Amino acid sequence: MFRKSGLFLLAATPLVVVAAAFSALASSQEAAGGDGHAHRASAGITANELTLHNDMRRLWEDHVTWTRLAVISLTTGSADTGATVGRLLRNQVDIGNAVKPYYGRAAGAELTRLLREHITIAAGLIAAAKDGDQAALASSQKRWEANADKIARFLSRANPRWKPAPTRAMMRDHLRLTTREVVARLQHNWAADVAAYDAIHRQALHMADMLSTGIAAQFLRRFR
């Protein structure tokens, strides 16, 4: 049985989210026609844009799917933990490789490094919550937020269409939803656990769409 003090600290940790920015992003996706596929195709999206759009969605769906499986493995001490976390870390390499054609090898490697740090910090956070170690939990949470802000700054500097405030909000929202998922699982609240995953899956698709749309707009000649 996990000590409740650690769980309460994790659940109560303030993750500042610019809700209006994320809501605007979600509204724009809904206005585009649900998941965006049909409307974008009818608006004259090119084959290259559609490939980028779908590939980015696949990568971020992999991200949240393997994160979920890693959360399950880490919280239960399952024998598949090493293999599952290894596959999740490989996804961070895949995401970094996806941006190399646009921003270069060094930028892709840096994004991979930041995302792998995001995963390793999360693993430590889960372990601290499971053990009820409040000091380690607070430290991991602070490092996790700082890493998310670094990722947001990296993206904003790479592409002027990824504005700092909405991009930071997007990353912080990702942390908030992942935290909700971890807390629900540690508390054995399975209904909340499922709902948290549904929410983080939707948010990952919005994140992927923001990235692919920004790349296509910044490198217009490659897609038109």
Dump pLDDT digits (tens) for 71-83: 999 999 999 999 9
- Taking CA 93 as the corner, what is the angle to CA 46 and CA 145, rounded to the nearest 5 degrees? 100
Per domain, the residue ranges of the chain are 4-23+45-223
46-55 confidence digits (pLDDT tens): 999 999 999 9
Indicate the residue type of 18.
V
- Of 15-19, 32-36, 66-70, 85-89, which range is least confident? 15-19
| Alpha carbon of residue 44 to chain centroid | 29
State the pLDDT confidence band at 207, using cuts at 50, 70 and 90: very high
One-letter identity of residue 93:
V
- Residue 72 main-chain phi, psi, to 5 deg: -60, -45
Cα 162 from chain centre: 15
Phi, psi of 77 (to 5 degrees): 65, 30
Element housing 132 (H / E) = none
Cα 33 to Cα 43: distance, rounded to the nearest angstrom: 11
- Provide the token pair at 139: 């430290």
Cα separation values, 3 from 7, 159, 167, Å? 7, 44, 35
Q: What is the pTM of this model?
A: 0.79
Q: At what angle do helices 4-12 and 105-131 cross, to 10 degrees?
A: 140
The model's pLDDT over 140-164, given as tens digits with 9 standing for 90+, comes to 999 999 999 999 999 999 999 999 9
